[in-house]
């Protein structure tokens, strides 16, 4: 990366109070760390699904990707990402682009698809995964990390204004919606209208397993804090698994291709599961926690 690009990224990190991109830099570092490290992407083509304001895309461009496309269905976020590209990171304008587009309308191929903090918001996840598989080149990989899961303590994403953990699971949905609408100018008629797909851990695992992609790494509660380790321990108890599984980090690979096997970061190859999950049929794999996933209608993820 040239000097001006490095300087722009460094300057963002020193903004008093932090710009959006500056605040997201640590989240991007955690994303890669929890997946075992960023894969070698020099010269590769990468699609960022649910790119938001583009923090992960800028990181990919900085790391030497040959082509990065960030897509989202939120026009305001894509506009903000494009504005950052134009005003601060113009050195990447021949590598990086942002578009408001549904993945089902894309036709170009990619070596990698990445997605951070989006899968719990996608209402048609099964369809989206099918199109991810279609767009990946043989041997290409999907790298995804997201949470909190809906059944976890804060699965309401602060959109339900619940004062206690798991509060969103304590009320029948009609009562929950009455509570939520007390805090909204525009009432909603369903939880999905808040941008949450309500998928449980078992739903994601099933969808990943049925996606046609090979699961090479899957882990839940992959955080550095003590609470993540506590949750990981409690999630080993079958009756508590759904309630204490906070997040999922997963790498799936499309079979075939001359470079098959190269898409998994070295740190992920030796990863061990920490939730006690097994792949379907009770068969255990030390690199996997389990199967699961579904398609794309990315809902507005702005706080309400």
Residues 258-295 have pLDDT tens digits of 654 455 665 665 433 444 454 443 333 333 433 333 33
Q: What are the pLDDT digits (tens) for 26-73? A: 899 999 999 999 999 999 999 999 999 999 999 999 999 999 999 999
Q: In what order do the strands lie in the sheet with 96-100?
A: 96-100, 67-72, 45-49, 110-116, 136-146, 248-253, 214-220
Rg of the chain over CA atoms, in angstroms?
19
Q: Which of 5-19, 141-155, 218-232, 280-294 has the highest mean pLDDT?
A: 141-155
In the predicted structure, residue 207 carries a pLDDT above the cut 60:
yes
User: Do the Cβ atoms of 35 and 252 come closer than 8 Å?
Assistant: no
More confident of the two residues 10 and 47: 47
pTM: 0.82
In the predicted structure, residue 14 carries a pLDDT above the cut 60:
no
Residue 272's pLDDT is 38
Residue 187's pLDDT is 94
Average pLDDT over the chain reads 83
Q: E strand or H helix at 112, and its extent?
A: strand 110-116
pLDDT > 70: percent of the chain: 78
Segment 173-189 shows an average pLDDT of: 94
Query: Residue 117 gets which letter from DSSP?
Result: S
Report angle CA 52, 189, 200 to the nearest 5 degrees.
60
Distance between CA atoms of 300 and 303, rounded to whole angstroms?
A: 9
List C-alpha distances in Å: 31 to 86, 161, 211, 258.
Answer: 25, 26, 22, 27
List C-alpha distances in Å: 132 to 32, 140, 210, 254.
Answer: 20, 10, 13, 10
Handedness of CA 111, 219, 128, 192 (dihedral sign): negative
In the predicted structure, residue 9 carries a pLDDT above the cut 90:
no
Query: Residue 298 gets which letter from DSSP?
Result: B
Query: What are the residue ranges spanned by the domains of the chain?
Result: 24-159+195-282
Segment 237-244 shows an average pLDDT of: 94
User: Do the Cβ atoms of 257 and 149 come closer than 8 Å?
Assistant: no
Q: Which of 78-87, 216-225, 257-266 has the highest mean pLDDT?
A: 78-87
In the predicted structure, residue 303 carries a pLDDT above the cut 60:
no
* CATH topology for the 24-159+195-282 domain: Rossmann fold (3.40.50)
């Amino acid at each position: 990366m040239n000097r001006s690009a490095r300087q722009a990224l460094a300057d963002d990190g020193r903004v008093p109070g932090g710009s959006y991109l500056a605040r997201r830099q640590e989240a991007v570092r955690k994303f890669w760390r929890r997946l075992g490290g960023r894969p070698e992407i020099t010269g590769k083509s990468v699609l960022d699904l649910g790119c938001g304001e583009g923090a992960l895309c800028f990181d990919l461009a900085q790391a030497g990707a040959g082509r990065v496309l960030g897509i989202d269905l939120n026009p305001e976020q894509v506009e903000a990402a494009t504005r950052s590209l134009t005003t601060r990171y113009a050195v990447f304008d021949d590598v990086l682009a942002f578009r408001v587009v549904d993945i089902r309308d894309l036709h170009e191929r990619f070596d990698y698809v990445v997605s951070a903090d989006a899968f719990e918001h996608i209402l048609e996840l099964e369809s989206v995964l099918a199109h991810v598989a279609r767009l990946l080149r043989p041997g290409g990989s999907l790298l995804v990390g997201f949470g909190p899961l809906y059944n976890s303590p804060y699965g309401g994403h602060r959109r339900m204004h619940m004062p206690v953990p798991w509060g969103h699971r304590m009320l029948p949905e009609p009562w929950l919606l009455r509570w939520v609408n007390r805090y909204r100018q525009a009432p909603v008629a369903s939880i999905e209208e808040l941008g949450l797909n309500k998928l449980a851990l078992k739903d994601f695992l099933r969808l990943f397993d049925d996606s046609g992609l090979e699961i090479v790494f899957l882990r839940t509660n992959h955080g550095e804090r003590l609470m993540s380790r506590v949750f990981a321990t409690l999630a080993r108890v079958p009756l508590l698994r759904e309630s204490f599984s906070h997040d999922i980090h997963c790498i799936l690979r499309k079979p075939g291709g001359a470079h098959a096997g190269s898409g998994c970061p070295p740190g992920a190859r030796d990863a061990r599961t920490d939730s006690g999950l097994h792949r379907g049929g009770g068969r255990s794999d030390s690199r996997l926690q389990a199967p699961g996933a579904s398609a794309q209608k990315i809902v507005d993820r702005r706080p309400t």
